[in-house]
Structure 1
Amino acid sequence: MADPGFPNQHTTTTTVTNTEVITNLRYDNTYLYTLEGKLKIAQIACVILSLIAISFSTYNMWYQNSAVTSISMFGFWFSLFMLVFYLFHVVESFYKIPWLKIEMIFNACWPILYIISAAVAAGQTGLNFSYTLSLFFGFAAMFAYGYDALLKYQALQRGELAQGNNVVHKQTSTTATY
């Protein structure tokens, strides 16, 4: 006779997550057509345009320009390297490195630095049009980095890889006893 406190059957669910990555380096331009790829291109373009605008100022030797120039150049190089890493699947080859977390931290810090440097440029907008132009592109870069940080955060919450696939296999079995 079955105990009334226990059910007559139970269900067991086994979840297995496999990581599927291809570790050889190869060129694949499909990343450019994803939202993250378009954001990387927008970041690079806005940073370069901000840098060019501040460099052609008649007051380009002022100390305020060094903040904008430094932030723009470091953002340019980091975004360019990450774009190349995604295009050549370096990120997928080294999938054990927490790429999403690294990018999320960088993309979360860069809007803060851009708002500071844009505020410095905004203080000089009465002096030169190039400061206003640099301010515009700095704010555009700030929003691109901020949105990319949000996307990286959401991907981390879902447990995604930066490149490659996590394949989840679920197996459910029901056992009945009478």
Structure 2
Amino acid sequence: MYQERTITYGRTYQTEPRVVYHGPDFSGIHLDLDYLKTLSGMLKCIQIALCFLTFITVIGGGPYYYNGATWASFVSSVGLMITTILLVFYLFHVVDKFTNIPWIVCEMIYCFMFTMFFFLAGSALALASMQYKLSAGWAIASFFAFCAMVAYGFDCYLKFLSWKKGEKAVGGNTNVQNV
């Protein structure tokens, strides 16, 4: 009548290769304020302050319809944004993670370009402050633009020396020799 049966179930497993994303390792990203104590960190802070002061004095310095004023505000605002982004990259050691990017060369080119841009902006503001009435603020903006030009030029010179020595950009510490 009743017969007991045992049924055996078998499981088969098939292993397939998994696709694993091997992107950059973000485990070492942390805030390190020691970079602000280095010469490059101080220069970046000075450049940010001078870009901000140039932008504010251009905006409040005179009538805004002059093309030199729009150029100076564009240069100072873009310089403010890029320099702030670079400062954040160095503070959080992002430059240490992306070693395949030549940071020193990129920054040297960037600093050289903005040295020229601030020279043109400062010259245009100096001429405009002499030409137009009620534009004495542009003379102050011209002074800040020339100070920013000197800061970017000095930073470009330091980056050139670092590039010639073969140094590698690191956040928080001084530049280390490329081994």
TM range, normalised to the smaller chain? 0.7 to 0.9
SS in 2 for 1:56: helix
Answer 1 or 2: higher relative contact order, Cα 8 Å, separation at least 6: 1
Count of matched residue pairs: 147
Aligned to 2:121: 117
Letter in 1 for 2:165: R
Question: Whole-Å Cα distance in 2 between the matches of residues 41 and 79 of structure 1?
Answer: 9
Report whether the alignment pairs 1:129 with 2:133.
Answer: no
Does the 8 A contact of 1:49 with 1:134 survive in 2?
Answer: yes
CA deviation after TM superposition for structure 1 residue 51, in Å: 0.5
CA deviation after TM superposition for structure 1 residue 62, in Å: 2.3
Going from structure 1 to structure 2, the CA distance change for 1:30 and 1:53 (only over 3 Å counts) comes to: same
Question: Whole-Å Cα distance in 1 between the matches of residues 29 and 52 of structure 2?
Answer: 28
Aligned to 1:62: 66
User: Deviating runs (4+, > 3 A) in structure 1?
Assistant: 164-168
Going from structure 1 to structure 2, the CA distance change for 1:167 and 1:49 (only over 3 Å counts) comes to: closer
**Contiguous gaps of at least 5 residues in structure 2:** 1-25
Residue pairs, 1:72-91, within 5 angstroms: 72-91=76-95
Question: Whole-Å Cα distance in 2 between the matches of residues 26 and 120 of structure 1?
Answer: 42
Which string of whole-angstrom CA distances, capped at 9 and with x for unpartnered residues, describes residues 130-161 of structure 1? 11110010001000000000000100111110
Letter in 1 for 2:105: K
Report whether the alignment pairs 1:145 with 2:152.
Answer: yes
- Aligned-residue Cα RMSD (Å) equals 1.6
Report whether the alignment pairs 1:50 with 2:54.
Answer: yes
Letter in 2 for 1:28: D
Question: Whole-Å Cα distance in 2 between the matches of residues 50 and 105 of structure 1?
Answer: 22
Does the 8 A contact of 2:111 with 2:153 survive in 1?
Answer: yes
Does the 8 A contact of 2:62 with 2:138 survive in 1?
Answer: no
Q: Which has the larger radius of gyration?
A: 2
Q: TM-score, normalized by length of structure 1?
A: 0.78
Q: TM-score, normalized by length of structure 2?
A: 0.78
Aligned to 2:169: 162
Does the 8 A contact of 1:54 with 1:131 survive in 2?
Answer: yes
Question: Whole-Å Cα distance in 2 between the matches of residues 44 and 89 of structure 1?
Answer: 19
**Contiguous gaps of at least 5 residues in structure 1:** 1-21, 169-178
Aligned to 1:3: none
Which string of whole-angstrom CA distances, capped at 9 and with x for unpartnered residues, describes residues 26-46 of structure 1? 110000011100000000000
